[in-house]
């Protein structure tokens, strides 16, 4: 009998912890919040950088080619009921061009939140395309970009779109549009 009693005594603290552990998870019938759709903004999902003061037409002047290959994100309720926190990472493929000097180039990119045609928030930052010796192609994932979206009972995160692309100059954008035709 003493063996059963000591086993019960050992189990008692575990039984007392059960209500506390059950409070760690989501409430019953609670689902993850709807996240915004993610999209690469055409035609700015591709970039070609050329040597400064070149015509931009000759392959020998090409410094770098890049492509946005994907967007990943995760949503969670914000610290207030009126906010949804989104963490976004962007994936890229880069190819070194014959005119590249050194082993790395900073490339301007952006992540934006849109509601319909209206850009609500935009973050521009640089991604460094670094090439190890004897490597001409690299696949990179950006650092996490945190964004906060306003939500209400009638407007969830699904009302928004997260856009990612390269931050192109007007000349680069005109060239990208011409290539897309």
What is this structure's pTM?
Answer: 0.77
Q: Sort 25 into a burial class: Cβ within 10 Å, 0-12 / 13-18 / 19+.
A: exposed
Residue with tokens 């575990």: 14
Domains of the chain: 34-180 (2.60.40.150)
pLDDT tens per residue across all 181 residues of the chain: 444 545 445 544 444 444 444 444 444 445 567 889 999 988 999 999 999 888 877 889 999 999 999 999 998 887 778 889 999 999 999 999 999 999 999 999 999 999 999 998 899 999 999 999 999 999 999 999 999 899 988 888 999 999 999 999 998 899 888 888 8
Local structure of residue 60 (DSSP, 8 states): G
The pLDDT, as a whole number, for residue 2 is: 46
């Amino acid at each position: 009998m003493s063996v059963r009693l000591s086993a019960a005594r050992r189990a008692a603290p575990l039984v007392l912890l059960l209500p506390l552990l059950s409070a760690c998870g989501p409430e019953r019938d609670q689902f993850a919040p709807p996240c915004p759709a993610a999209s690469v903004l055409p035609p700015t999902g591709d970039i070609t950088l050329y040597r400064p003061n070149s015509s931009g037409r000759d392959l020998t002047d090409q410094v770098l080619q890049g492509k946005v290959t994907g967007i990943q994100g995760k949503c969670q309720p914000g610290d207030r009921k009126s906010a949804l926190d989104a963490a976004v990472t962007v994936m890229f493929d880069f190819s070194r061009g014959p005119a590249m000097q050194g082993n790395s180039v900073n490339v301007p990119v952006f992540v934006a939140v849109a509601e319909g045609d209206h850009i609500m928030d935009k973050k521009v930052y640089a991604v460094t395309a670094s090439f190890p010796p004897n490597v001409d192609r690299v696949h990179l994932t950006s650092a996490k970009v945190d964004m906060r979206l306003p939500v209400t009972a009638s407007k969830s995160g699904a009302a928004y779109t997260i856009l990612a692309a390269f931050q192109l100059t007007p000349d680069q954008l005109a060239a990208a549009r011409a290539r897309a035709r």
